[in-house]
């Protein structure tokens, strides 16, 4: 395990150099990895494991959309695609990649197949951290581990196919066999991580829920909408408002930040942009910091977990979700966005 300082704080890392793919294959050569669920993370992780030469099977409800998706991805019924119970029985490592609500509903069936010495794998700390709400309490004689890629399963797969890796966090909640660190290291490399950084189940879910509601999705959409609306209210055309709000950020500036950092991006913009950004960023920080403080308290208190569980467990959840997403999709900003994306050179 490597040690590296980030901002003066030493952290534990697992890299491809110290834990190469060949070592990962050796660690998992006797294991059967059963991926349960084929929604957000399941396809990317299972296909990457398969392409990396691991013994992986998929467990999914038969005759469902996800089952059909697995078939279209090349999984073969009776060979490496099974019903959920059969896959859980066959697997020595069960990757529990259903939605949080799905994990709660299916837990009694999965738990029945957790015989001593098996490993239970998560990509989100929700189920374990909020165990008093989810009732997901693993047996004491199984390993409980986590690999949480810092991005969607789609991104994980795309980056893998491009020969790149997506960073991920890892955690060990329970080491019943004494092999949990080797297992989590091998699995993290196997699913296509760039490098692995250490966390806990609690810290993973606290940071993840904060990030999803914050800069990754919720806050960024809110900021997009506020700027777009301000520009439109002041007479700017829909195309100009969208390009100045979203297109320039996502297509031009954020790739530069990803490559070289915010200071480099600032240094390589016009002096007018530099001055304005340096003068205004702290005002936006000061305005949003109380909102983030409130958000984190809601996550840490489990209030957000309660909202998620209640909403996602309702029979009309999908219907209401579709209505909320339709509101976004049919807003002026994102209608313009659809038109702008269609004009990109790669789409013509």
Annotated catalytic residues are 124
323 phi and psi angles, rounded to 5 deg: -70, -40
Taking the C-alpha atoms of residue 3 and residue 5, their distance in angstroms, rounded to an integer, is 7
**DSSP secondary structure letter of residue 176:** S
Instruction: Give me 316's structure tokens.
Output: 């009309």
DSSP 8-state code for residue 102: H
Report CA-CA distances (Å) from 126 to 95, 141, 296, 309: 14, 21, 15, 10
Nearest to 219 by CA among 291, 290, 143, 161: 291
Neighbour tally for 304: CB within 10 Å: 22
Name, in order, each residue with C-beta under 8 angstroms of 336's C-beta and a sequence gap of 6 or more.
238, 239, 241, 242
Contact assessment for residue 126 and residue 107, using Cβ atoms and an 8 Å cutoff: no
* Residue 138: alpha-carbon gap to chain centroid: 22
* ∠ Cα 11 12 13 (to 5°): 115
If phi > 0 it is left, if psi is from -120 to 50 it is alpha, else beta; for residue 137 that is beta
- Residue in this structure with the two tokens 């919720």, named with its chain if needed: 218
The whole-angstrom separation of Cα 242 and Cα 244 is 5
- What order of strands is seen across the sheet that includes strand 168-174? 2-6, 9-15, 195-198, 168-174, 143-149, 119-122, 93-96, 33-36, 56-59, 81-82
Between helices 218-233 and 201-213, what is the axis angle to 10°?
A: 10
């Amino acid at each position: 395990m490597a040690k590296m300082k980030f901002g003066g704080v030493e952290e534990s890392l697992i890299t491809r150099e110290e834990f190469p793919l060949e070592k990962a294959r050796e660690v998992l050569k006797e294991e059967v990895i059963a991926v349960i669920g084929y929604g957000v993370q399941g396809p990317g992780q299972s296909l990457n494991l398969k392409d990396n030469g691991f013994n992986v099977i998929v467990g999914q409800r038969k005759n469902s959309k996800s089952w059909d998706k697995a078939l279209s991805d090349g999984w073969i019924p009776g060979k490496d695609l099974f019903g959920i119970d059969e896959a859980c029985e066959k697997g020595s490592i069960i990757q529990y990649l259903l939605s949080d609500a799905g994990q709660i509903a299916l837990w009694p069936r999965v738990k029945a197949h957790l015989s001593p010495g098996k490993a239970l794998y998560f990509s989100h700390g929700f189920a374990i951290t909020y165990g008093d709400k989810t009732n997901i309490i693993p047996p004491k004689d199984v390993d409980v581990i986590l690999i949480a890629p810092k991005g969607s399963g789609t991104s994980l797969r795309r980056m893998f196919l491009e020969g790149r890796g997506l960073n991920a966090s890892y955690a060990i909640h329970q080491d019943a066999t004494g092999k949990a660190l080797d297992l989590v290291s091998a699995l993290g490399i196997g699913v296509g991580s760039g490098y692995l950084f250490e966390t806990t189940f609690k810290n993973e879910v606290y940071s993840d829920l904060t990030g999803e509601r914050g800069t990754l999705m919720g806050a960024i959409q809110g900021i997009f909408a506020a700027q777009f609306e301000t520009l439109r209210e002041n007479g700017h055309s829909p195309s100009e408002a969208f390009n100045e709000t979203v297109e320039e950020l996502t297509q031009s500036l954020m790739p530069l930040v990803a490559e070289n950092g915010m200071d480099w991006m600032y240094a390589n913009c016009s002096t007018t942009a530099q001055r304005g950004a340096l003068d205004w960023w702290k005002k936006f920080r000061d305005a949003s910091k109380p909102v983030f403080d409130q958000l984190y308290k809601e996550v840490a208190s489990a209030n957000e977990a309660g909202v998620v569980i209640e909403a996602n467990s309702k029979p009309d959840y999908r219907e209401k979700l579709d209505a909320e997403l339709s509101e976004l999709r049919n807003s002026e900003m994102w209608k313009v966005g659809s038109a702008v994306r269609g004009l990109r050179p790669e789409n013509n």
